[in-house]
Structures are given as C-alpha cells and as structure tokens.
Structure 1
C-alpha cells in the first residue's frame, strides 16, 4: 500500500501532523502534492533510477517529495542539514542528484549547491518558503499536473553513512522492480505486522527525518494509513505531552531519549498518561539493561528493540519480556539467518565472538561509487551474506549479543560520529603532530567524542591551545562531529605501518 490508497478511502484523515506549527497534511493533500511533484520531475526528464535530494528540517513537505520519488522509481537522498556546505555538496555530487529540494530554514547548508554541476540550473534547485537562487516550491505545485500517474514503479531511499575513511558513503539498495501499488517496501513488510502498524496507528517521531529509521518509519505509517506526529526535535516532557494529547500508539526512540525522560522529576512523569502506547520501539545504540528495565516498569511491556542498519543487511527483534530474561541481547533474526564468522568466513560455535553476517539470497545493497567497501561487507565465501562489520555472539537459542561497534564509530545519543573526520581536520593544525579521536563514556549521551593530541615540537600544552583546537575543528566541521574535549598525550599508539591502534588508546585513556 501507499498514501494514494487512503486518499481514496479516507481523504481527509491526517497523514502527518507537525505540533510545533499546527500544520496537518491529509491523505488527499499528500497524494495530490506528491503527484504534482512527480509530474514536474518527469517534465524535467528525470526518471526511473535517477536520484533527487532533500535538505530540510522536519518539515512536512519532505514527504511530498519523498512520495513523489517513491512512486516514480527514483532514489531519494535526504541529507543531514547540520552539515557544512562543503559536506552537503559532496553528497549532492556523489549521489548524482538531478534535483535538490530544500527548506529556507536550512539555507546556509545549501548555499553552495549551485556549484554542483547538475544543479547549476536554478530550475533544478527548488525551495519552500524562499531561498535566493532557488525556484519556488509553491509555484511549481500550482503549475504541475494533478492527473493520476499511469506508471508508478516503486523507488527507494539512498542515504549516506560515513565509513572509516570519514567520507560519507551512499547506501544504495536494489530497486524493487514492482509498481508502488503491488507490494510494500521491506520496512513495512517486516516491521508492520510485528509491531501492529495499521490504519488506526498514531506514530510519534521525535528524531530528524534525515536519519534512516525516522524517515522509513514515517513512510511506513503513511503506507498503512496511520497518522504521523512529527516533532521538530526531541524534548522529554513535550514528548510525554504529545503521547497524551494525540493518544499515541507507536513511537521510536534512541536510548538517550529514554534516559532523559527517566530523569524527569517523578511528579512530571506522573502528570502524563502514556497508557495508549502499544509499541515503543528503540534502536540506533545499545540500551543499558537498567534503563530498559526502568522503561518497562514505567510504560509496561511495550518496549521493543531491533538491531539493524541503514544498509538493511538484516534485522533482529526483541520484546520486553525477552529483554528482561536475556539482558543485553538484541534479539533473534527475522530477516535472514544469522552467522557468526571468523576472519576467514568460517562459522563459529555458539558463544564465540565474531563478525555478524545475515544470510540473504542476494546482496541487499551496495556502497555507491565504492566497490571495495561493498566487497568488504560481503562474506568471503558467500557473497550474498551481508555484514556492517559488527562483532557479536549467539546464545544457544539464537539470540544475538553485540560486543563491539563497527570501525570505532562513536554513538552519541543515537547519532553516529565518525572520528576520522575530526582527525583529518585536526592533523592540519600547525601545533598538532598526531591525533586520535575516540568515544568516552557520558551519563547522558552514552558516549561523546574526545580528542587526544600529540603536539608538534615547540607547541606548549595549555587550556588556551585546547580551546583553539576545538574552535579550529568547529569552523570546518558540523558541530555535532566536533570532539567535546582535547587532551594532550606524549605519544599515540601506532603499528609499525602507521595505523592508529584505537583499542590500545582506549586502554590507555579508560583502562578498558
């Protein structure tokens, strides 16, 4: 199913609501707007297999554009609007974006989009609420045809996730090869029945839609005829208030959000009725067992965890009762049998730690413009088996436990931070001889980035220099990627070939 199904049956029902502004988009409006945008894209000569991009805050119009692409067989790349113009342009160029849609609220992020060759023509840059040098979204909607589309091949998203080199990598799934009316997308097919998403569902989304899970889950709700309540940003008490106001039945969180809600005063927590919640889903980062237990005690046995990735290599699920019985587990696979393998690809015995692979009939994705990284995600003996590089083990009942994180990614409040990006900036400062960035524990966010610097000859350790290095990084990199602190060390552990041994650095710093 897709929104057009419900434009015919429940046209005036709210598909999306933005509480901060009071805006509501009905299924009729969502279908009409996405149809018009689809016609406009086709008039520009953009077709099946092509890519369009969106840079926006949590504006409801993101889903006009999203569904225009999905019902046109296109890829849609939603870009993090906190990135610098240089970082945004890299993604726009790499993904091959034929058209860019942007919100005026994030104008600085797209201020240099005209430098991307395919987007040099103003007609290929479209903005809502006005950006100088961009075509006007409202005018395009008014001028475009609203005639039903006769051919609607299902498209998909192509989102970006940085690799160990620090350069963002496009995760490009295979196009489904079906009409949008013929079969649901993988997220709806897998998660919809498990969590009971249906036309009566009211889904609270507190996270930015440039992340894979919020984007895909909001789209799933549109696919089954439910209503999305889209927050601009997470606030713990506001989230509770919205659950009560809209009688929210489904929601999705990262563990940091649980922590912040749990830290509210008891009288504030007791003020709100959360009894409507049927499934509170969390992912993106490990959830401490004590936090999950406290949430189950507060909200009841509605807390559900899944382990997956933007790559959709596979999925594991675990519910409340199983989490209490097997603390630390991320569940059993529901999408491809799990294999724990050694470096040569051999299956390991139960309880042994190795690389986590999902057995698939065909490789479900590729890294755009990076065949080597794609190959590294494939099993050495079974190329259709996929991994994102995580390490873990299985118990005797097939429940997965993760023991490490891929490529030293720092997960801060559910957001991935790739330390190589900050390292690449800091190493260019004249006072820096060597640098390593790792995650250190944080009570609120789980972990935060911290930089460790070996100074060049002649440079002197001081709080002023540490502040200068942080400012230097902040001027060249999105704010959330900048380390929270800089510490000075005598030397960093490196192999004879020059590779930074981050495990050893963590031992030196944290003692683990």
Structure 2
C-alpha cells in the first residue's frame, strides 16, 4: 500500500472519515519496514484470526480456555448479531464496556470483523463520562457486561444495549446462538477507522484517538516482533484493561498476531497476578510500575520460573522499581513508552540493550527526537519535548487539539525527555510536571525515584507547590509502608535521605503523608489532582 493513500472505504456510515483531522494536520507516517506494507483492502480481525491453527489455545479466562477455533466462532456469531438483529452497517460505532474476559475480547474483535468501529471504555467510568464519549463518537449501539450496566441505565438517551456475560439464556449469548458460525469479514480498506480509543488520565473533554485497520497490525509487527521478540509458545498475562490500548495490544492483539495465547482476568491484585502467573505458567507479563513495585516484595512466595519477559508501561518506571524487581526475580525489566494517540509502545529496549535509567531507543519502524524550546530537533544532553513518528500517529476525532499534538509532521507526546550520546532516550517528566523552583528545573519523577529507594516509602507523587519566594517548591505526597508513622522527625529523615541520593536543591521542602495516591484505572498517577489540591490549600 502506498503510504497515506486513501482507498475506497468499506464503510456505509462515513462518520469516521468525515471527522478525521484535515490531512495537513496529520503526522508524517512511516512504512519503512517491509512488514508494514499492507494491502489496500484489509480487515484486521480476519488477519488475526482466520489463518490461525484452530486447535491451539487462544484465550484463558476464569471459566475455561478458548481455542482459536472457538474464539473465531464466537467472534463470527457476534459479528452476525451486529449486522443482523442489531441492524448495524459498516462504519457504525459500537461502545464496549466490560472487564478483561474472553467475551469482551471476542466482542471487540467482532466489531472489527463486522466493519464497525469499536469504542472500548474503562469499567470504572461513570454515566456522565460515558455520556460524553457516546456523544463525541455518536455511538450507535452498546455491548456491555451485565454487571456494568447500572451506569448506562442512568443515561436518558443511551443507544440500544445488549448485555453479555450472563447465564447464556438472554442477551448477547442468546442472540449468538441463533446466528451462523461463520462470518465473511467486511471488505474494509486498510485505512478505514476500526477503533476510537479515548485517552485516560486527562482533564476536560476526553480526546478520541482514531486508528485504522492497518494500525492494529502495525503495532503487532513493531514492538512485539523486534523488541519483545515474542514467540508462538508464549503466554501473555497482565493487568491493563482491554479498553486501554496498552492492554488491548499486550494481552490480546500481540498474542493473536503470532498464534500465541493470552490470559484475561479481572480485578487483579499484586497477589492474585503473581498467583495467576504461577498457575498458568505465563511467560510474558504486562503491567504498570506500581504493580511491579508491590509484587517485588511478594515474588519470593511464588514460583515465577516460567516468566521470561516483563514489560512496564503506562507511566515512568522508577530505577528503584526496576532494581527491586530484578533483585526479586532475576528478570531485567523491559520499559516502554507509548501513547493512546500512537496506539502502543514506540520507545523501548530489551535484553542486552537495556540501559537502567533510560527508557530505550525507538522501536524499529519508529523515529524519535528531542525538540528544543524553538521546536527544532536538539542534540544529546538537551531536555525537551519528545517527538516521534512511525506507522501509527495521532488523528483526533474532530478536535482542535490535533494542532497541539502534531507539529511539523511529528507527534509531540507531552513528555520531557533527554537523549544521550548513544541515542538512548531518558525520561525526565511530563512537560506540565516540570517544577521550576528558584530558577532550577526539577523533574518530579527524579525526586520520586529517590524517595522510593527509602525502605519506608511504598508510593509517592511529587509536584510543584506554588510558593511566593521560590515560585514553586518541591512537594512530595508519600504513602508509607506498614510499621512506619509520620512525624516531623521522620520528615526530616526523608529529606536528608533525598539530599544524599540526588542534588540537594531537589529535595522536597514539603512532605504530605497520605493513605493512597490518586490514580487512573490504568495505574497512572494523577499528579494534576495533587496540584489542584495544593493550589486550593495555597489559596
């Protein structure tokens, strides 16, 4: 396929193409790897499922195992339900709501295969948030797990909703039973939209990121192939929701692309995830740094000998967490940065290429650079905005913020990074998390990493608190481990500890103790909530 060529759409409902950003606001797309040259006509679900060995296990859930043949049959029956009883046409939007289960996975794949557009949503979203997403994506139908329908019931104009995950006598399962077991995939173009992923952890109106059928395959043919180097006998497991592109890729798309299998479990804790790794003999784990830090202290209780690769993404990986995990398991963490706008990981390193303290280098298929204050690519040693381009890129759903994310063909992620002389990219902070105190630029995550090295600190979040004299001061919000109590003397001890770990001017002049820190459903620390509270306290 010629890069950026527009094929004849397979969509009857043209909403998605009509609401793509103007072409001049798109990032430059790269298809330099030969495996990224996809045909003009492409249905990603068919590519993931229809050529697989039907006898091999595909998905493990609490109710049993589905082979590829069983998964394909369920996907095809759901696709018939979408296009038959629900009366949908290619290009219609289907909101999906469910925890990590094989049925949720099958529903997403069925939407792709039917030529419709999946709009997955986090299980913890409330009615107001769901209503905003529905309005922005102009959703035509909803597939929802039965135990998550309460919030939808509060919406006065909710589209037709079909429930799944019950006893099979009603809802989606009953409709599926009356449908044929085989479905011919919709003849979609490679550049037809199949997924609208809404960003997590943001304030204000959510941003819908639009992804093509070819994008789904592109993320499978870059990071997992060249960096993770996954194999068909791998078994993937982890915590990120399927509604989060980190989880969609790591737990479903990546294993299916190579004929491997994934474990889908809901409501995992560090203990139950470790138990599931032991029970299923999982080989690849995807989760956030917070989980790895908590699991490191528990790991000796479990048999993790099957585990070969562990991937951290979703937020910055502190060096202290990387070290603790390696000491507990012997495994070197594969760090990665991705974005909902880019669909998945685009900078990472594995094996001997890992350099502690650095995220890594651009994944094959992608390029990256640092932009200085003038928006020009900068050389090593400069802290600036991370910019990236590759086979995937930002295309917001009818959103003026497209012009802020894409600059001169680059996707500008909002992360402050530095590149060293060897081409490794080192995370400093989110651009809006940089603290400027008495003229010094201080990266909050660096202070967090120092605090996490103290044995009493379980979690922490660092922000800049408004200050009359210094402009801002460094303020740390700290969760202590059991057995430790806050006190002025303990605060002084932590402050002195940080001064010994990093440059003394970076130490937290204010320490606030908390029982828990605000996080998104995907595990990201919500520093903006800490900043908002600090601003209120200052006022």
Give me the TM-score of the superposition, normalised by structure 2. Answer: 0.68
CA displacement at 1:35 relative to structure 2: 1.0
1:206 aligns with 2:235: no
Match of 2:161 among 110, 125, 148: 125
Match of 2:194 among 134, 156, 165: 156
1:22 aligns with 2:63: yes
1:375 aligns with 2:403: yes
The residue that corresponds to 1:310 in the other structure is: 340
Equivalent residue of 2:377, what SS?
coil
Equivalent residue of 1:365, what SS?
coil
RCO higher in structure (CA 8 A, sep ≥6) = 2
Q: Cα distance 1:136–1:406, how it changes in 2: closer, same or farther (>3 A)?
A: farther
Q: How does 1:111-510 map to 2 (within 5 A)?
A: 111-116=153-158, 119=159, 124-129=160-165, 136-149=171-184, 151-153=186-188, 156-161=194-199, 165-176=203-214, 185-193=217-225, 194-217=227-250, 218-264=252-298, 269-312=299-342, 315-319=346-350, 321-323=352-354, 326-334=355-363, 335-360=365-390, 364-370=393-399, 372-379=400-407, 382=408, 384-408=409-433, 440-443=476-479, 491-492=538-539
Q: Using the alignment, how far apart are the partners of 1:246 and 1:163 within structure 2?
A: 31
CA contact (8 A) 1:192 1:198 kept: no
The residue that corresponds to 1:468 in the other structure is: none
CA contact (8 A) 2:228 2:350 kept: no
CA contact (8 A) 2:293 2:324 kept: no
Q: Using the alignment, how far apart are the partners of 1:208 and 1:163 within structure 2?
A: 14
CA contact (8 A) 2:77 2:183 kept: no
CA contact (8 A) 2:58 2:65 kept: yes
Give me the TM-score of the superposition, normalised by structure 1. Answer: 0.71
- After superposition, the C-alpha distances for 1:109-157 in whole angstroms (9 at most, x for unaligned) are 21134514xx1xxxx31101469xxx81112102223233054536632
CA displacement at 1:186 relative to structure 2: 1.7
The residue that corresponds to 1:428 in the other structure is: none
- After superposition, the C-alpha distances for 1:267-286 in whole angstroms (9 at most, x for unaligned) are xx334221222211111111
CA contact (8 A) 1:356 1:389 kept: yes
- After superposition, the C-alpha distances for 1:167-218 in whole angstroms (9 at most, x for unaligned) are 21111124439xxxxxx71221012213232321111122322221111222
RMSD: 3.5
Gaps of 5+ in 2: 1-43, 435-443, 449-460, 464-473, 482-517, 519-524
Gaps of 5+ in 1: 178-183, 420-437, 446-472, 474-479, 493-512
CA contact (8 A) 1:3 1:222 kept: no
Q: How does 1:29-178 map to 2 (within 5 A)?
A: 29-43=70-84, 44-116=86-158, 119=159, 124-129=160-165, 136-149=171-184, 151-153=186-188, 156-161=194-199, 165-176=203-214
Q: Cα distance 1:152–1:13, how it changes in 2: closer, same or farther (>3 A)?
A: farther
CA contact (8 A) 1:259 1:444 kept: no
Equivalent residue of 1:115, what SS?
coil
CA contact (8 A) 1:16 1:227 kept: yes
Q: Using the alignment, how far apart are the partners of 1:388 and 1:23 within structure 2?
A: 40
CA contact (8 A) 1:38 1:72 kept: yes
CA contact (8 A) 1:339 1:359 kept: no
Q: Cα distance 1:35–1:22, how it changes in 2: closer, same or farther (>3 A)?
A: closer
